[in-house]
Amino acid sequence: MSTENLDKAISNLPIRGFLNIDHLNIPQGDDLVKAILDLKKEKNAVILAHYYQSPAIQDIADFLGDSLQLARQAKDTDADMIAFCGVHFMAEAAKILNPTKKVVLPDTQAGCSLADGCSGEGLRKMREQYPNALIATYINCNAETKAESDIIVTSSNAETIIKSLPEDRPIIFAPDKNLGRYLAKKTGRDMILWDGSCIVHEAFSMERIATQLAENPDAKLIAHPESESAVLDLAHFIGSTSALLNYVEKDDCQKFIVATEEGILHEMRKRAPHKELIPALVFDKSCNCSECFYMKRNTMEKLYLCMKYELPEILIEEELRLRALKPIEAMLEMSKTIK
């Protein structure tokens, strides 16, 4: 099978359910777990996974983290191959930071509504419109968009970084308007916002969550800042993926309504096994779920295949990589004290 066809075949594997692709010889059950672990040894690979991955992927990962922690791990690993279980922009950031390593992503179609909605060209136009502004861009963007930015931020370090930018310069913030609005409020900075949003976090329903809170007066609402301001206004605590995990673990409260991607509940249950965790409700009553469709494109079967065939591989043209690296390195430098 040609490389291109194999890429497509892997990407088109069902997200859940029965796999009948005999010619790819995918082991099942415990054999699949063993095969992935064997490949890891054989290829000196490291598996990095985001908290929004499926429980099986989280459990097999060498390192589980939020986007800042994963970028740091990718930079520092001495493995020969990084099997990146997250979305495309995250695997791309790993390659930008560690170009000599082979970076594979189980499914290249694991995108992100924020990254897909913000182009490098769009940011160039904004810079022309506001020539005095600094461009701070959320890490949820592609390499070309990063290359047009002055600094990259993640949800863990955004507030610290925005606060430390020169006060005489306005800030263009892209691509998440909800996170941007939240940061403008927290920092008091003058921010020009790109009109983008996360399809998972904007789906939370303020009215339904208010009802959940009324029905659970002993619960606290915790929310990721990608959620809309109406939801954030109700929240007892707002934080990045890691901050939400730490909060549930350390806070005295025993019950939490969680307004972020559901994958996080797996790690939350491990860290706080006796606490009650209730997923926050979304607008769509027929679905009631807050899973990121893109994150869940990665499966154990695709992880096995990408490690076995060493593709789909993330490749970036060197000139673009170097331009995208600059604002990421600036971010890492400015967020050294953040865990």
Q: Is 140 in the site for ligand SF4 (CB under 6 A)?
A: yes
Q: What angle do CA 52, 331, 78 make, to 5 degrees?
A: 65
- In our burial notation (b when 16+ CB lie closer than 10 A, e otherwise), range 55-74 reads eebbebbeebbbbbbbbbbb
> Is the separation of the CB atoms in 94 and 125 below 8 Å?
no
Q: Is 331 in the site for ligand 13P (CB under 6 A)?
A: no
Smallest separation, CB 52 to ligand SF4 (Å) = 6
Residue of 145, 155, 212, 298 interacting with ligand 13P (CB under 6 A): 155
- E-assigned strands of the chain? 45-50, 63-65, 81-85, 102-104, 134-138, 151-153, 171-174, 191-193, 220-223, 237-238, 255-259, 276-279
Smallest separation, CB 67 to ligand SF4 (Å) = 9
The Cα 249–Cα 49 span in angstroms is: 20
User: Which of the 8 DSSP states describes residue 204?
Assistant: B
Binding mask 225-244 for ligand 13P (x = CB under 6 A): -x-------------xx---
Smallest separation, CB 11 to ligand 13P (Å) = 20
The Cα 318–Cα 236 span in angstroms is: 45
Which among 89, 243, 97, 103 has a CA at the least distance from the CA of 175?
89
- In our burial notation (b when 16+ CB lie closer than 10 A, e otherwise), range 259-293 reads bbbbbbbbbbeeebeeeebbbbbbeeeeeeebbbe
For residues 107-146, which are near ligand 13P according to CB under 6 A? Answer: 140
Q: Is 148 in the site for ligand 13P (CB under 6 A)?
A: no
The Cα 171–Cα 307 span in angstroms is: 41
**Which of 88, 323 has the CB closer to ligand SF4?**
88
Residue of 112, 231, 311, 324 interacting with ligand SF4 (CB under 6 A): 112
Number of H-type helices and E-type strands within the chain: 16, 12
Token duo for residue 239: 């934080």
Residue of 292, 303, 305, 314 interacting with ligand SF4 (CB under 6 A): 292
The Cα 115–Cα 294 span in angstroms is: 12
Binding mask 212-231 for ligand SF4 (x = CB under 6 A): --------------x-----
Which stretch in 10-18, 117-125, 149-157, 321-329 sits in contact with ligand 13P by CB under 6 A? 149-157
Q: Is 108 in the site for ligand SF4 (CB under 6 A)?
A: no
The Cα 80–Cα 104 span in angstroms is: 11
Q: Is 289 in the site for ligand SF4 (CB under 6 A)?
A: no
Q: How far is CA 336 from CA 89, 163, 174, 329, 332, in A?
A: 22, 15, 22, 11, 6
**Which of 133, 223 has the CB closer to ligand SF4?**
223
Q: Is 334 in the site for ligand SF4 (CB under 6 A)?
A: no
For residues 16-75, which are near ligand 13P according to CB under 6 A? Answer: 66-67
For residues 295-314, which are near ligand SF4 according to CB under 6 A? Answer: 295
Which stretch in 71-79, 243-251, 281-289, 291-299 sits in contact with ligand SF4 by CB under 6 A? 291-299
- In our burial notation (b when 16+ CB lie closer than 10 A, e otherwise), range 165-197 reads beeeeebbbbbbbbbbbbbbeebebebbbbebb
Q: Is 267 in the site for ligand SF4 (CB under 6 A)?
A: no
Residue of 85, 87, 300, 305 interacting with ligand SF4 (CB under 6 A): 87
Smallest separation, CB 262 to ligand SF4 (Å) = 10
Smallest separation, CB 222 to ligand SF4 (Å) = 16
Q: Is 198 in the site for ligand 13P (CB under 6 A)?
A: yes
Contacts with ligand SF4 by CB under 6 A lie at 87, 112-114, 140, 198-200, 226, 261, 292, 294-295
Q: Give the binding site for ligand 13P (CB under 6 A).
A: 66-67, 140, 154-156, 198, 226, 240-241, 261
